[in-house]
Structure 1
Amino acid sequence: MRIATYNIEWMNALFDDAGALLNDDGWSARYEVTRAAQTAALVTVFRALDADAVIVIEAPDGSRKRDTCAALERFAAHAGIRARRAVVGFVNETQQEIALLYDPDSLSARHDPQDHAGAPRFDAAFKIDLDVDATEDLVVFSKPPLELAIKTASGVDLHIIGAHLKSKAPHGARNRDEVMRISIANRRKQLAQAIWLRARIDAHLAAGTSLMVMGDMNDGPGLDEYEDLFGRSSVEIILGDADRALFDPHARLGLQRRLGATPTTARFWIRPERRFLQALLDYIMVSPDLAARGPRWRIWHPLDDPECWAQPALRDALVVASDHFPVSLDIDF
């Protein structure tokens, strides 16, 4: 079985309010990429992935006017892919949902929000002292993680949590001091979200649940200077340690090589510096019992993965489709 995570930059802009594809020459939300070009690129990528299930980060908007699942299922029908049914959890106000596209012949999936002591439902608020002032702060997710109960066709039960943690970009800052203040506040909030997510992971592992945690963590070892201020990245918190540590080989490599070459899953244009920045942001972390099954991870990076590089149509589609690249995991159930 192949399970993947894929952050699709502003996929919402490819659909109208009825969920129909705007497969035309109008501009998408990607720089100098038309809606038709992004749609065609996504079709190429999804067909190559041929996944049984894909956690879609930045899935189309869900609101009174728009239906995430309808849009995704129309895209799947247009692409002619097996992963043709969609499920979404708590919708948010960012127009970027977290959803699952899956093959109903391979597995069943349902939204299964949990509520544990010390780890409330992800659409609620988490109490934590963020700034060591003996006063509890209330933290909320701008994009509540998607919790799914999965049953494979062979009868294996597992849970998947799809997550998109808040970015640390200092929006609204007018000077260097404000950049620092907002960045530190944003990192505190992101670390609190990671602690919240880790508390849910601990509850699942204590219950013996087979678990996958995947998505865009918008963070990684050594990603910015504020990590040293707090000691650990969000990724390290979510992974955990000792006998209840989750495993992701790319995260492990990144943590071991802070000054060396690491895998990357995203590629952004830095306009002031006129260059691309590559970063490791997307992960598929698995519980110890799933790691023992010998799964195989793959980053579908058009420049780093030899098979992607050897197929010009796929290589170009990966660049056009999004600023992130899919991460897949093949596992035998």
Structure 2
Amino acid sequence: MRLATYNIEWFANLFDGDDNLMLDGAPSARHGVDRYTQGRAIAHVLRRIDADAVMVVEAPNTGRTQRTTRALERFAEEAGLRAREAVSGFPNDTQQEIALLYDPDVLGAVHDARSTPEAPQFDGVFRIDLDIDAREDEVRFSKPPLELAVTTKGGTRLRMIGAHLKSKAPHGAKSRDEITAVSIANRRKQLAQAIWLHRRVAEHAAAGEHVIVMGDLNDGPGLDQYEKLFGHSSVEIVMGGLLNDPNAQSLARPRATSLPSTSRFYNPETKRYFRALLDYVMISHSLMGRQPQWRIWHPFEDGECYQDEEMREALLNASDHFPVTLDFSVA
């Protein structure tokens, strides 16, 4: 079985208010790329990776007249994808939803949100003391993780969670001290969300269930200066000794020389591109005996992608993130 996670930059902007796909020469939200080019590129990448299920991060919007699942299924039909059915969870107000696009001939997936005293439902409120002042703070997800009960055609059950954690930029802060204070407060909230997510993972692991966490965690060991202040990245907290992802684990190794990345961004100030590892497919120990193989479809770091000019260009035009796939044996 092949699973994938793919953050598709502003996928929502390729659809009109009634979820009709717009493939024309108008600009997409992807800098310097029109809607026709981005849409064709996304379709090419998804056909090429040919996953049984894709966790789509920044999926099309759900709103007054829009439905994430309807837009994705229309796109799948247009692109000729075998992963042609979609499921989503709690909508958010960012126009960046989380959804699973999957092949119904291989597996079934339903939204199955859980809630416990230790880890409330993800569209609710998590109470935790963020700043050690003996008072509980209220934490919410701007993009509630998608909890899925997945069953393969062979009867194997998986608990799958799609996530998009994000530490907000210091909007409104003007001075250096204000920027630092707001950035630290926002990082605290992101780490609290990671704790919340980890607790749910721990509950499933304790019940002996196969757990897979997929998505964009916007963080990783060594990513920024605030990690030294808090001691751990949100990625390390989510994994918490219960999940495995060799790409994430490679960053924690001392003197790592060849570091993976899943994204590529342009800095207009320095006029240079920079790379980051933000996207993960994490699996519980119970799945490590299933011959798991991870792959980052990076146009400049994956030799096959680089040699395939059409695929290389499609990856660059589709998004500023690149897909991560996991192949493993499952009935």
TM-score by length of 2: 0.98
1:202 maps to which residue? Answer: 202
Deviates more, 1:102-111 or 1:254-263: 254-263
1:180 maps to which residue? Answer: 180
Letter in 1 for 2:140: V
Letter in 1 for 2:27: W
2:223 maps to which residue? Answer: 223
Q: Give how far 1:18 is off.
A: 1.0
Secondary structure, aligned partner of 1:289: helix
Written as runs of structure 1 = structure 2, the 5 A alignment for 1:291-302 is: 291-302=288-299
Letter in 2 for 1:305: D
- Counterpart of 1:278 (choices 272, 275, 279) is 275
Q: Give how far 1:310 is off.
A: 1.2
Q: Give how far 1:256 is off.
A: 0.9
Q: Give how far 1:146 is off.
A: 0.1
Q: Give how far 1:179 is off.
A: 1.4
Quick one: structure 1 residues 33 and 257, their matched pair in 2 at CA, closer, same or farther if it must change by over 3 Å? farther
Is 1:308 the counterpart of 2:293? The answer is no
Structure 2 segments unaligned to the other structure (5+ residues): none
Q: Is the 8 A contact 1:222 1:258 kept in 2?
A: no
User: Sequence identity of aligned pairs in percent?
Assistant: 58
Q: Give how far 1:168 is off.
A: 4.3
Counterparts of 1:314 and 1:167, CA distance in 2: 31
Q: Give how far 1:177 is off.
A: 1.3
Superposed CA deviations along residues 135-168 of structure 1, whole A, max 9, x for unmatched, are 0000000000000000001110011000000134
Counterparts of 1:262 and 1:81, CA distance in 2: 32
Secondary structure, aligned partner of 2:13: helix
Written as runs of structure 1 = structure 2, the 5 A alignment for 1:12-161 is: 12-161=12-161
Structure 1 segments unaligned to the other structure (5+ residues): none
Secondary structure, aligned partner of 1:98: strand
Q: Is the 8 A contact 2:194 2:237 kept in 1?
A: yes
Deviates more, 1:265-274 or 1:321-330: 265-274
Counterparts of 2:192 and 2:257, CA distance in 1: 28
Secondary structure, aligned partner of 1:236: helix
Counterparts of 1:19 and 1:167, CA distance in 2: 29
Counterparts of 2:319 and 2:172, CA distance in 1: 25
Q: CA RMSD in A?
A: 1.0
Letter in 1 for 2:56: V
Quick one: structure 1 residues 305 and 123, their matched pair in 2 at CA, closer, same or farther if it must change by over 3 Å? same
Q: Is the 8 A contact 2:214 2:281 kept in 1?
A: yes
Secondary structure, aligned partner of 1:256: coil
Superposed CA deviations along residues 256-286 of structure 1, whole A, max 9, x for unmatched, are 1566331000111111111111000000000
Q: Give how far 1:169 is off.
A: 2.6
Counterparts of 1:128 and 1:54, CA distance in 2: 32
Is 1:234 the counterpart of 2:234? The answer is yes
Counterparts of 2:268 and 2:173, CA distance in 1: 18
Q: Is the 8 A contact 1:221 1:258 kept in 2?
A: no
Counterparts of 1:200 and 1:11, CA distance in 2: 28
Letter in 2 for 1:120: P
Superposed CA deviations along residues 161-192 of structure 1, whole A, max 9, x for unmatched, are 00000134323322211210111011000000
Secondary structure, aligned partner of 1:90: coil
1:11 maps to which residue? Answer: 11
TM-score by length of 1: 0.97
